[in-house]
Amino acid sequence: MTSPAPDRSPKDLVLTPGPWAYGGHTVARTDEGRVVFVRHADSGERVKARLTDADPGAKFWRADTVEVLEASPHRRDRHPWQAADALLTAAGGLPPVGGAEMGHLTLERQREVKTGVLRELLGGIGRLAPAELDALDPAVEALPGEDPRGLGWRTRAHFAVDAAGSIAMHPHRSEALVPVAGFPLMVPALEALGLAELDFTGAERIDLVAPCGGADGEAPAIVVTPAAGDSAALREALRERLAGELLARLEEASPGLSVLLGPAEGERGPAEVLAGTATVRERAGGFSWEVSAAGFWQIHRHAPATLLEAVGEAAQLTGGQTALDLYSGAGLFTAALAEGVGASGHVLAVEGSPLTSADAARNSAPQEQVEVVRGSVDEVLAERWPGVVRAPRRRAHGSRQRGGGRARRTASRAGSRAASSTRSAAETARPGVVVLDPPRAGAGKNVVDALNALGPSRIVYLSCDPATLARDLARFRHHGWQFESVRGFDLYPNTHHLETLVVLTR
């Protein structure tokens, strides 16, 4: 007798979501006690949720809200982006795309939720006592000039390209592609490009950049990644269309924009400039940076100015100090640190990505007190202060840095020719202040232990992931560090992400 085929139709459950957890979901339980992570809901609602991951052997299931039976008072009347609206897309038989998973809530409620999640992580993983949390009173702040709907803030965005050549995005935890008409979280200068009307057949990914948020007369840049494995003829056909028909259409919307054709996934080499330049000009707080179009920069249009001010206040620099700018990116904080320590001070900026560290060296060139080193942060610190910092242990395959490059150490002294990386501890005073802005993986044990050994008076830790931040803070606490202040910034409205700035002293 043939067994019946398994039922693969979507399963809906009626649930009452409980507290929020980090990751953009609430925590609910079935009548049998099964934990279900529910997205697109709010605590205390009664919802119908469609299971998206329901492995019988899993510790928990995942689900998307498809109908609201009893609504939260904080639920918006209308989601600001239709493609990410779980209720609307469910009615059409499609999953919502990622990128605005909290858009169903008011911005005030979003920040309240993020503040609660931050406190929970600091008290749990970070091991802060309730009294300490109350004294620090961390809260997630709105940025100046915020759009009342939380739209128009992204100066960087990327799209996948589907088989028809249309821009598309992925639903949460899915490899499927859903065509989109636009992305309202982008600044208007990027929305105005009208990418949904263009045919990008032969491309795999489209990256967009709007320097200065599209202000100050700066034109956008578009970086097109060709599909991996395509023949040389198909690659050339894409190149010709980009340099011809597509460029003409794009320039109608944004005269002077830059168009680059990058290497395919897994290939090496610089992007080919088909129009404009390979870099964009960013400005904030009286400083200016030249940043590779394919390089790293803060996404929110007001983030550079906001974070420059916050980090500058937290660092409390004095003339003649040595300051470390770890995971420096293109040098957002480097120039301000150099200004703070003055001509008699020294700033050591460390960045792992070859492309981004080259940007940092170029931007710091006028400041003789700045040294830019490319390499793994823990390795650079161990080599610079060998009698103080223990050399990290490495796996055979090496470590990975922001930007995807294997940790390789090279250095350049800003304002001069490329220099060797043999500057000694005797030539570099121990740092008085450390600023670190690691990727989502956090700093980790090696870096925390190294900074503790160096013994600066202040550490300013900027994090885009509160879970790994809390893990690192627990280790700092183990070494005797105290938390002077904690601030949260809502750099990613309508998403669950947040930025956190912590000042540590000892």
CATH of the domain at 261: 2.40.50.1070
Looking at the structure, tell me whether residues 355 and 423 fall in a common domain: yes
| Residue 444, phi then psi, degrees to nearest 5 | 90, 170
Angle at 470 between CA 467 and CA 474, to 5 degrees: 145
Q: Which residues contact 233 (CB under 8 A, 6 or more apart)?
A: none
| Same domain assignment for residues 323 and 438 | yes
Q: What does DSSP say about strands 482-489 and 458-463: parallel, antiparallel, or unpaired?
A: unpaired
Q: Are residues 99 and 244 in the same domain?
A: no
The CATH number of residue 42's host domain is 2.40.50.140
Same domain, 329 and 460: yes
Signed CA dihedral, 200, 202, 205, 208: sign only: negative
Q: Per residue of the chain (506 residues), give pLDDT as tens.
A: 444 444 455 699 999 999 999 999 999 999 999 999 999 999 999 999 999 999 988 999 999 999 999 999 999 999 999 999 999 999 999 899 999 999 999 999 999 999 999 999 999 999 999 999 999 999 999 999 999 999 999 999 999 999 999 999 999 999 999 999 999 999 999 999 999 999 999 999 999 999 998 887 889 999 999 999 989 999 999 999 999 999 999 999 999 999 999 999 999 999 999 999 999 999 999 999 999 999 999 999 999 999 999 999 999 999 999 999 999 999 999 999 999 999 999 999 999 999 999 999 999 999 999 999 999 999 999 999 998 999 998 654 444 445 344 334 444 554 433 333 445 554 679 999 999 999 999 999 999 999 999 999 999 999 999 999 999 999 999 999 999 999 999 999 999 999 999 999 99
Burial-class residue 417 by CB neighbours within 10 Å (0-12, 13-18, 19+): exposed
CB distance 274 to 239 below 8 Å: yes
- Residue reference for tokens 């003789």: 368
Among 448, 464, 473, 503, which one carries the catalytic annotation? 464
Tell me the whole-structure pTM to 2 decimals.
0.92
Backbone angles phi, psi at 485, to 5 degrees: -160, 155
Kindly state the tokens that stand for 73: 């008072």
212 is catalytic: no
Residue 445 falls within a domain, yes or no?
yes
Distance CA 469, CA 24 (A): 17
Q: Are 339 and 318 spatial neighbours (Cβ–Cβ below 8 Å)? A: no
Is 292 within a domain?
no
Round to whole Å and give the CA distance between 470 and 488. 13
HSE (CB half, 13 Å, CA atoms) of 190? 29
CATH number of the domain within which 385 lies: 3.40.50.150
| Residue 331 and residue 276 share a domain | no
Q: Do residues 333 and 325 make contact, with C-beta atoms less than 8 angstroms apart? A: yes
Question: What does each C-alpha distance from 236 to 208, 274, 398 come to in angstroms?
Answer: 22, 12, 35
Coil, helix or strand for 157? strand
Rounded to the nearest 10 degrees, the angle between the axes of helix 377-384 and helix 444-454 is 30
State whether 272 and 416 are in the same domain.
no
Same domain, 239 and 180: yes
State which H helix or E strand residue 13 sits in: strand 12-15
**202 and 77 in a common domain:** no
Other residues' Cβ atoms within 10 Å of the Cβ of residue 2: 4
Domain final position from 280, 301, 334: 280
The predicted pLDDT at position 216 comes to 78
- What's the token pair of residue 163? 């088989």
The answer to whether residues 226 and 327 belong to one domain is no
Rounded Cα distance, 484 and 258, in Å: 44
Q: Does 110 fall in a domain?
A: no
Same domain, 262 and 368: no
**Nearest Cα residue to 424 out of 388, 368, 383:** 383
* Domain count within the chain: 3
Q: Is 431 exposed, middle or buried (0-12, 13-18, 19+ CB in 10 A)?
A: buried
Does residue 260 sit within a domain? yes
Interatomic CA distance for residues 309 and 304, integer angstroms: 9
* Structural domain boundaries enclosing 402: 318-483
Residues 473 and 324 in one domain: yes
Q: Does residue 132 sit within a domain?
A: no
The annotation places the binding site for S-adenosyl-L-methionine at 298, 327, 351, 437
Strand, coil or helix: what is 291?
strand
Residues 170 and 247 grouped into a single domain: yes
Evaluate whether residue 494 is within a structural domain.
no
Q: Is residue 411 part of a domain?
A: yes
Is 225 among the domain residues? yes
